[in-house]
Amino acid sequence: MRVLVSGGVGFIGSHTVVALIEAGHEPVIVDNLSNSDESVVGRIGEITGHVPEFHKADVRDVESMTELAGAGIDACIHFAALKAVGESVADPMKYYDNNVGGTIALLSALESAGVTRLVFSSSATVYGDPEKLPLTESMPIGVATNPYGWTKIMMEQVLRDLHVANEEWSIPILRYFNPVGAHPSGMIGEDPQGIPNNLMPYVAKVAAGELDHVRVFGADYPTPDGTGVRDYIHVVDLAVGHIRALDVHSDDPGVHVYNLGTGRGHSVLELIKAYEEASGRKIPYEIVERRPGDVAASFADVQKAYSDLGWSTEFGLADMCAHSWKWVSGAPR
């Protein structure tokens, strides 16, 4: 299939483009490079032996999207979004405009070009504060604690309504847990601007000596060691999940929701220890106050993805840390 990949230069998008090429699909990337660098396109070419088609454009530009979608596109994987939780609190309009506005513009362009297959990047954040663990897809959508989270809840609703109005749409909604790691080659990975908000990229910068120490946000949660527990998933496993969802549901109209995680939680301290082992570096940390809006623990029930998509994860926490460290510590940057 010829697959339009919005946000395909970014962290998860670039790994998915690699997986698409490896699975014999033809990705067409569209990205405005607001949070990524064009050099990634060349590196995808080095990994796969095929430099993907790339268009620098904004998904809110309906005219460009309609032109792109009309050029033989069979399906779209929609990653393009802003994702910094703190920034979304400070500038909510930017997030509603880019994420919700961008999704609406892209969907109308796809529909007018007759493209009715879309894989959507959602997030475990839509569950809010979990009442019960593990989280299953049938649990109710919760209350978001920030505008970024609300954009994901709103976009999921837009997609459900779209399918009610036009039943031809096939829409796998993938709720990611905590994507981390990098391509095992060390050629592509996560490259956050400034001081990272998320745990693994922060830990990586401490290991690399760019930051002093990790601040552990709370050690008084009702978890085995008191620190927050999350379901970390290797970005390559996550990427493969998109290909499975695309293949299984390509001629299967409906809205299909899947959790993508490993089904296992790890604490902040476990992750720090695993990263120390992977990097061979000491990672100093300090316990500080809880971060507002954080939940104690979150991990997925992944049975549905396993039974419907035949998908499960291959990589564990040690691989996630090893591949992240290979990316952070090495060439090509």
- Count Cβ atoms below 10 Å from residue 310 Cβ, excluding itself: 10
75 touches 250 (CB < 8 A):
yes
Q: Choose among ligand UFG, ligand NAD, none what residue 215 binds, the Cβ cut-off being 5 to 8 Å by kind.
A: ligand UFG
Q: Choose among ligand NAD, ligand UFG, none what residue 179 binds, the Cβ cut-off being 5 to 8 Å by kind.
A: ligand NAD
Rounded to a whole number of angstroms, the minimum distance from the CB of residue 155 to ligand NAD is 9
Between 94 and 281, whose beta carbon lies closer to ligand NAD?
94
Q: What is the distance between the alpha carbons of residues 82 and 96, in angstroms, rounded to a whole number?
A: 10
Q: Choose among ligand UFG, ligand NAD, none what residue 79 binds, the Cβ cut-off being 5 to 8 Å by kind.
A: ligand NAD
Residue 40, burial from CB neighbour count under 10 angstroms (0-12, 13-18, 19+)? buried
Q: Are strands 297-298 and 266-267 parallel, antiparallel or unpaired?
A: unpaired
- Count Cβ atoms below 10 Å from residue 252 Cβ, excluding itself: 10
Could you list the residues that contact ligand UFG (CB under 6 A)?
A: 83, 85, 123-125, 176-178, 197-199, 202, 214-217, 228, 230, 268, 291, 294
Rounded to a whole number of angstroms, the minimum distance from the CB of residue 80 to ligand NAD is 4
Residue 49, burial from CB neighbour count under 10 angstroms (0-12, 13-18, 19+)? exposed
Residue least distant from ligand UFG (Cβ): 228
322 touches 174 (CB < 8 A):
no
Catalytic residue among 95, 127, 148, 221: 148
Residue 123, burial from CB neighbour count under 10 angstroms (0-12, 13-18, 19+)? buried
Q: Choose among ligand NAD, ligand UFG, none what residue 81 binds, the Cβ cut-off being 5 to 8 Å by kind.
A: ligand NAD
Rounded to a whole number of angstroms, the minimum distance from the CB of residue 168 to ligand UFG is 30
Q: Choose among ligand NAD, ligand UFG, none what residue 98 binds, the Cβ cut-off being 5 to 8 Å by kind.
A: ligand NAD
Could you list the residues that contact ligand NAD (CB under 6 A)?
A: 6-7, 9-13, 31-36, 58-60, 79-83, 98, 102, 121, 123, 176, 179
Nearest to 245 by CA among 117, 111, 95: 117
Rounded to a whole number of angstroms, the minimum distance from the CB of residue 47 to ligand UFG is 26
Active site residue 232: no
Which amino acids are annotated catalytic? 148
